[in-house]
A and B are shown apart, each in its own frame.
Chain A
């Protein structure tokens, strides 16, 4: 097994110690107020994650896929999007959902088992979570084909030109669908930005199981640029994704971004990482925390006072209460709703099954309490 060698040219704009650094290819003009706003996103997204894990432990959710450690990658990418751009998430992009103004409660139905997703992608230009690994990258390419056919690329009109942001992970990089999506985007010069969160682990398989080269090098073989960023640096994610999206909208084609990050928590609440990785590895990554470095920057270099952090803590408490109460209030689905939306119009044979099931359910006598 070969470890993937560390990349000296990983784009980083904010060090783990909270020091702003410049990168010649990715100048980022950003105010301290904007960095404060990113800090708020990061904290609140982490809070949603923390609450969801707790809800799973209390039996309120069947499962949760934690994003702990990946907040910087996701918030940077999510905030680089324009309203009319389209995002295609996996099932872990809670931070991107947040940036798209999707209420966290909307995400919980899938994990509580009250629905299968159920939101309208057009509401926030945020597609449904996709559980089959990598499948959504082809949907992103197809959506981008539609964008091209709609004449919404390379017009120079910022309100019209549209990019598509496709998320996937290091495990998905092995999937045929991801590679086919690369082929499509390259061949048709599609306005797609591929955002791979390399969080080092596909459940129990280290990234070396998937790739012998750094994942961003894969782009070379397909004929478009690839770049690796410090995935725990929200500013690097924002700057690099922003530039790639600009290029896509301008008709300059796809980019692959590899956000080098770490899945701090188990794959999902059902996973046990003590069977396959060392706690010491996780401890090392704690030193690169995506939130601590922003807080350090704001405290030491932006003169942001305690009031700001206190206000965010209060907002975080309110959000947590919203998530807890809202989750418990999610209604259980009606048994007959399983027959809804199988087709646009219920077929006769499915109506027969539904009606027979309804009659069966009705045949039970009410037991007096």
Chain B
């Protein structure tokens, strides 16, 4: 068993992808010599050369748009968006081109593009550096959206995403980059959720940075909670959640993103559609408030915490 930080696991996963397929290329701002602002691509340009790992001009629409052209030419681009809040200049190219080109061409063109986005808060950053924009992408047909929560998934999921012939928006929980974990020997299916802690009283579903927080809540005194790491936001593995809710009767969904119109709302809707009679209480959501991400001195209050998760668990159990 190898123990790595998530940052290093991603780095190793990217290295493996570059090794496995000569068409894989890594592009983005500062990904070359610097190795990215989070050092995820550290050393890759040195080992794979400037044709395959390269710095782009500072323009996100250009990064995504040129990746589309590279994909048409037969390449398999991995784009790094430096921070979550910087993806929006590239939003048009992602939503109108990356997501739809395969469909527009009636399946003739494939867009095997991976868009890596460090996301979420908790690192004391300035504005636009702590956001959780995953719902925008999950709402777009043609995209797949995933998020890793631990080093082993980071290592395997980045390789699976790059190998995918569909475009994948890959959300990396930046505040967990330095958490260590063991690598599993085998990958788990990319779009399948995983029960990471079995329990009987209530189900807590989370993804990305909130999985660790949910596990901490489950470890706290009190309740026997089942924790599910959703892993894939689109497609969303509803079956695994339903199977759990059929046993526990209660569901709390946790994410950093603002709750309204979010991933939690979608999961709540699906569960009440398909497991209405298994529910003992309404599905509750714990997430960011419907405000802009606050100044960093406020973020610990604003973000979901162990206590806010347990408060929701109490409410669902008391219902």
Contacts and interface: CB of A to CB of B under 8 A. Distances in A.
Contacts of A149: 25, 51, 75
Interface in B106-157: 106-110, 141-142, 144
Interface string A111-127: 00001111111100001
A30 B104 CA distance: 39
A121 to B, nearest CB: 6
Contacts of B102: 341-344
A130 B71 CA distance: 16
B187 interface: no
A146 to B, nearest CB: 3
B47 to A, nearest CB: 17
Interface in A299-351: 340-345, 347-350
Contacts of A146: 69-70, 72-75
Interface string A145-174: 111011000000000000000000000000
A347 B62 contact: no
Interface stretch (B88-96, B202-210, B255-263): B88-96
B62 A132 contact: no
A132 B96 contact: yes
A180 interface: yes
A255 interface: no
A140 interface: yes
A26 interface: no
A285 interface: no
A138 B61 contact: yes
Contact of B57 (A88, A115, A187, A340): A187
Contacts of A345: 166
A195 B22 CA distance: 32
Contacts of B104: 116-118, 128
Given A181-B62, A184-B57, A342 B142 contact: yes
Interface in B220-249: 235-236, 238
B62 A135 contact: no
B21 to A, nearest CB: 14
B296 interface: no
Interface residues of A, number: 44
Contacts of B67: 142
Interface of A: 88, 115-122, 127-128, 130, 132, 135, 137-147, 149-150, 176-177, 180-181, 183-184, 187, 340-345, 347-350
Contacts of B68: 138-139, 142
Interface residues of B, number: 44
Contacts of A88: 69
B105 interface: yes
Nearest to B57: A183
B69 A138 contact: yes
A150 B25 CA distance: 13
Contacts of B96: 132, 135
A343 B51 contact: no
B278 interface: no
A340 B106 contact: yes
Contact of A343 (B73, B74, B144): B144
Contacts of B101: 128
Contacts of A138: 61-62, 64-66, 68-69, 93
Interface string B74-93: 11000000000000010011
B105 A139 contact: no
Contact of B235 (A127, A142, A347): A347
B100 to A, nearest CB: 8
B69 A176 contact: no
Contacts of B191: 347
Given A132-B96, A187-B57, A120 B65 contact: no
Contacts of B66: 138-139, 141-142, 145, 184
A121 B92 CA distance: 21
B106 A118 contact: yes
A137 B144 CA distance: 25
B299 to A, nearest CB: 31
A319 B67 CA distance: 38
B277 to A, nearest CB: 20
A144 B235 contact: no
Contacts of A139: 65-66, 68-69, 72, 97
